Amino acid sequence: MSESPIIVVKIGGSTLGSHDTTLEDLVALQREGWRSAVVHGGGAAISEWLDARATPTRFVRGLRVTDAESLQVVVAVLAGLINKELVAAISALGGQAIGLSGADGGLLRVSQLDPELGYVGQIERVDSDMLVRLLDAGYLPVVAPVGILWENQRLQSQIMNINADTVAGEMAFALAAQWLVFLTDVAGVSGSDGGSLAHLSCQEATALIDQETVSGGMIPKVEACLRACQGRTRTAIIDGRQPHALLAAVQQGRFLGTTISASEEGP
């Protein structure tokens, strides 16, 4: 296996605009020898497509309830439109990307998270060997967060929706990545006074969730960081709206947001 470092990056539609530099940063890191894997979301686009089809959207505890009709849109938008647009954009910048979903090759095997949520999965296994083979071959995997139902020790034919933040955390853990970086549209994790926190230990991050200081869509991001930290991965939730925020973090150690690690001193 190659000794070059692995970084898992989670990007969402909210941080990918016409002036965004994240994809440029990913290509630059690939050229420098980093083995990068990307997980992308697409919740806003899914909601738009569901609205266009007059299909109601409902959330429970921040997770989209995914019935059979909604699942068709989820798979089409995530594994199709958004995934291939990202691959095309990275390729146009000179990168070597390959798009896949967690259903491809059984990359993400999942159980049903909660019957109330419908076709929403909880990750049971990440095929890290598949990802490492792609990384070692020089590809930048771009992963859409859907997987295959795993029941009775075998794969079923059912595709499942998965929270993209959770996917990123599980992938980072499985790959023993050096870094897990979330690019968001906020200035990091906020404390009780509303100000952004530069660093959190795992214990401090857990306490903020318990105190409900961390809430909403930030919860799965922080929980994913805590999961990755179990494998000694260093994690960060940074402001992807800032130019070259990813390069600033990885190359210069300048984090425009919040780092979370097992160490109280930070990365």
Active site residues: 10, 13, 43, 165, 221
Instruction: Compute how many other C-beta atoms are within 10 angstroms of the C-beta atom of residue 158.
Output: 16
Decide: helix, strand or coil at residue 175. Answer: helix
Task: Please state, in angstroms and rounded to a whole number, the distance separating the CA atoms of residues 9 and 166.
Answer: 12
Task: Please state, in angstroms and rounded to a whole number, the distance separating the CA atoms of residues 109 and 122.
Answer: 8
Give Cα 121 to chain centroid, integer Å. Answer: 15
Task: Please state, in angstroms and rounded to a whole number, the distance separating the CA atoms of residues 93 and 46.
Answer: 26
Task: Please state, in angstroms and rounded to a whole number, the distance separating the CA atoms of residues 215 and 173.
Answer: 23
**Residues paired with 257 in a beta bridge:** 238
Decide: helix, strand or coil at residue 183. Answer: strand
Q: CB within 8 A of 11, min separation 6: which ones?
A: 22, 38, 39, 40, 41, 86, 183, 240
Structure token digits, residue 92: 């146009």
Task: Please state, in angstroms and rounded to a whole number, the distance separating the CA atoms of residues 163 and 71.
Answer: 13
Whole-angstrom CA distances from 148 to 11, 186, 210 are 22, 32, 31
Instruction: Compute how many other C-beta atoms are within 10 angstroms of the C-beta atom of residue 198.
Output: 12
